[in-house]
Amino acid sequence: MTPTHTRLLWCKLQFSIVILVLCVNVAFAGQYEDACRHMAAGEYAEAYRIYHSLSLDGDTNAQFNLGMMALGSLVGNIRKESAVFWLKLAADSGHYHAQYVLSRLYDRGVGTPVNKQAANEYRGLAAEGKDPTALYDLGMAYILGAGLPQDEVKGVGYIKESANLGSPYSILQLALFYKNGVYVTKDISKYRKLIKSIEMFDIEGVNDEIRAIEREGN
C-alpha cells in the first residue's frame, strides 16, 4: 500500500460524518429514556423537545444528541450552528463522542469556520477518552503529517490502540499495513488474521481482501 492509498482510505472516513444518537450504554432514566423511545419511533420533534429540556439542565448526553439531531437536520430548519453550540457544550464538559464530532466539524468548516488547531485539540481530547474513531483519525494524521508533525511510529500506535478497541476501519487499515509492509514489518499471518476478524462487516475493500485470501488457499 502506498501513502496515497492510505490517504484515500482515511479520506473516506474524514468526509462521512455518521448521524449518531447516543441511546446506548447509558443508564436510562425517566425523560432521557422517553426521548430515546421517541427517536426510535421516528418522532423527532418530541425527542428534540425532551433533549432540549435536559440539555438546559446540563445533561451532556442530551446535549450531544441535540447537536447530532441538528447536524442531521432531523427537526425543522435548525441551523448547523446550533449543532456546534450543543456539541461544544457537551465536549467542553468532557463528552468524548461530542469532542470527536466537533473535531470533524472544525476540520470541514460545518456550522463553524475551519479551525485546524481546534480540530486537533478536540480530536486529542476524544482520543484521550478512548474514542476509537478519534484514535484512528489521530493515528492517520500523524502518519500522513496532516496538521500534525509527521510521526509514523506514534501514528501506528494510535491505529493499533483503536483496532484493539474493535474499530473495524482501524483493523482494516492495520491489516493493509501488514500486508504491504508499510509503516510496519510485513506479516501476512497478521494480515489474514485481522481481515478474518472483520469479514462480517460491510466495509468497502474487506470482501476483496477475503477473496484474495481464499484464492491463496488460506
CA distance 178 to 156: 11
Whether residue 212 is predicted with pLDDT greater than 90 in this model: the reply is no
- Asked if residue 187 belongs to a domain, the reply is no
Q: Between these two residues, 3 and 218, which has the higher pLDDT value?
A: 218
| pLDDT the model gives residue 170 | 93
| pLDDT the model gives residue 14 | 38
Q: Between these two residues, 20 and 64, which has the higher pLDDT value?
A: 64
- Of 10-19, 35-44, 113-122, 133-142, which gets the smallest average pLDDT? 10-19
Whether residue 15 is predicted with pLDDT greater than 70 in this model: the reply is no
- Asked if residue 107 belongs to a domain, the reply is yes
CA distances from 86 to 11, 13, 101, 127 (A): 26, 23, 11, 20
| pLDDT the model gives residue 95 | 93
Average pLDDT over residues 192-197: 91
pLDDT tens profile 67-124: 998 888 777 667 778 889 999 999 999 999 999 999 999 988 988 999 988 988 998 8
Structurally, how many domains does the chain consist of? Answer: 1
| pLDDT the model gives residue 187 | 95
| pLDDT the model gives residue 37 | 85
- Asked if residue 194 belongs to a domain, the reply is no
Whether residue 213 is predicted with pLDDT greater than 70 in this model: the reply is yes
- Asked if residue 98 belongs to a domain, the reply is yes
The CATH number linked to 27 is: 1.25.40.10
Confidence band for 30, pLDDT divided at 50, 70 and 90: confident
Q: Are residues 99 and 122 in contact, defined by beta-carbon separation less than 8 angstroms?
A: yes
Among the listed residues 174, 145, 149, the one whose alpha carbon sits nearest the alpha carbon of residue 159? 174
Cell numbers 467542553 correspond to 92
| pLDDT the model gives residue 217 | 65
- Asked if residue 88 belongs to a domain, the reply is yes
- Asked if residue 193 belongs to a domain, the reply is no
- Asked if residue 122 belongs to a domain, the reply is yes
Which residues, 6 or more positions from 177, have their beta carbon under 8 angstroms from its beta carbon? 1, 156, 159, 183, 184
- Asked if residue 105 belongs to a domain, the reply is yes
CA distance 68 to 196: 33
Percent helix, strand, coil in the chain, to 5, is 65, 0, 35
Confidence band for 13, pLDDT divided at 50, 70 and 90: very low
Identify the helix (H) or strand (E) that includes residue 86: helix 80-92
Domain span including residue 80:
19-129
| pLDDT the model gives residue 19 | 42
What average pLDDT does the structure give for the chain? 83
Cell numbers 422517553 correspond to 34
